[in-house]
């Protein structure tokens, strides 16, 4: 008597999953087709002879950076970093009370939780460039407008992340401190902050990385930083200077990413 391997019948669920994947793929393709047809892309202009000539004339000049402008570019790059640092620091502080307001394990009132989440959601809805335009109109074209734009724009993201960190803390520690007679301030400093502070700092540093990139373009609307040089170089068609600016931005952002990544690994 020979032992034949048992063959199990194909499960209907596997066929259903395959059908769902095919439907999802078709839906994605249709969405792409609808998107490109809706934005009225003129393909004949993109691949025209004039466009190709402009690319051949301009792109090579980006790879011939104007090293003689290094001093002024570095000066504006440092201003960009200062804008990002000041704005990120302000956001890291402002986001803390909003995060506690949103955390359901800290504030038991659902109405106040909802108000806090609405505030953070409303702040996150505005890109930094839009906030920069508003603050340039309010306080004038200067780096302070960029600081305000970064601070407000970063508060929404940090507040959301902070609230999630607070909601994930070990409440047994809080209950133990309460049972031992600790007051609210003691619970905050000895029960809550030691649990959340490392991740708070990690998220704040990560947001600083993002803000350096965001600050690089705020100068285009007059909010200070290296974006101002990009605007002037573009208006003068000085593509060699634009190439040097891009090179400085790339190197600076890469260095900051490496340093902040190392710090965040040590913190968490």
Instruction: Report the alpha-carbon distance of residue 198 to residue 69 in Å, rounded.
Output: 40
pLDDT digits (tens, 9 = 90+) for 58-98: 888 888 888 888 888 899 999 999 999 999 999 999 999 99
pLDDT at residue 138 is higher than 60: yes
Q: What pLDDT score does 191 carry?
A: 87
Q: What pLDDT score does 140 carry?
A: 87
Does residue 224 sit in helix, strand or coil?
coil
Q: What is the mean pLDDT of residues 181-197?
A: 86
pLDDT at residue 155 is higher than 90: yes
Nearest to 208 by CA among 62, 85, 113: 85
Q: What is the mean pLDDT of residues 235-248?
A: 88
User: Can you spell out the DSSP letters for 97-143?
Assistant: HHHHHH-TTT---HHHHHHHHHHHHHHHTS-HHHHHHHHHHHH-SSH
Which of 12-26, 47-61, 128-142, 163-177 is predicted with the least confidence, judged by mean pLDDT? Answer: 47-61
Instruction: Report the alpha-carbon distance of residue 170 to residue 177 in Å, rounded.
Output: 12
pTM here? 0.80
Q: What pLDDT score does 13 carry?
A: 67
> For all residues of the chain together, what is the average pLDDT?
86
Instruction: Report the alpha-carbon distance of residue 187 to residue 180 in Å, rounded.
Output: 10
Q: Is the pLDDT higher at 114 or at 6?
A: 114
Q: What is the mean pLDDT of residues 216-227?
A: 86
Q: What pLDDT score does 4 carry?
A: 55
């Amino acid at each position: 008597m020979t032992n034949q391997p048992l063959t199990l019948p194909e499960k209907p669920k596997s066929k259903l999953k395959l059908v769902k994947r095919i439907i999802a793929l078709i839906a994605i393709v249709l969405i792409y087709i609808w998107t490109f047809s809706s934005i009225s892309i003129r393909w004949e202009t993109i691949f025209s002879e004039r466009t190709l000539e402009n690319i051949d004339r301009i792109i090579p000049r980006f790879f011939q950076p104007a090293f003689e402008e290094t001093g002024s570019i570095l000066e504006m790059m440092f201003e960009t970093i200062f804008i990002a640092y000041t704005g990120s620091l302000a956001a890291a502080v402002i986001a803390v009370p909003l995060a506690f307001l949103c955390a359901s394990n800290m504030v038991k009132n659902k109405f106040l939780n909802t108000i806090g989440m609405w505030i953070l959601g409303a702040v996150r809805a505005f890109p930094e460039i839009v906030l920069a335009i508003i603050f340039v109109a309010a306080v004038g074209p200067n780096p302070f407008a960029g600081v305000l734009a970064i601070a407000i724009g970063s508060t929404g993201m940090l507040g959301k992340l902070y609230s999630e960190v607070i909601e994930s803390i070990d409440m047994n520690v809080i209950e133990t401190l309460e049972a031992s007679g600790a007051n609210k301030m003691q619970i905050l400093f000895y029960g809550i902050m030691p649990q959340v502070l490392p991740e708070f700092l990690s998220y704040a540093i990560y947001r600083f990385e993002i803000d350096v990139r965001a600050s690089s373009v705020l100068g285009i609307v007059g909010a200070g930083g290296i974006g101002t040089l990009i605007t002037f170089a573009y208006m003068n068609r000085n593509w060699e200077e634009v190439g040097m600016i891009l090179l400085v931005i790339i190197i600076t952002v890469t260095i900051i990413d490496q340093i902040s990544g190392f710090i965040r690994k040590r913190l968490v």
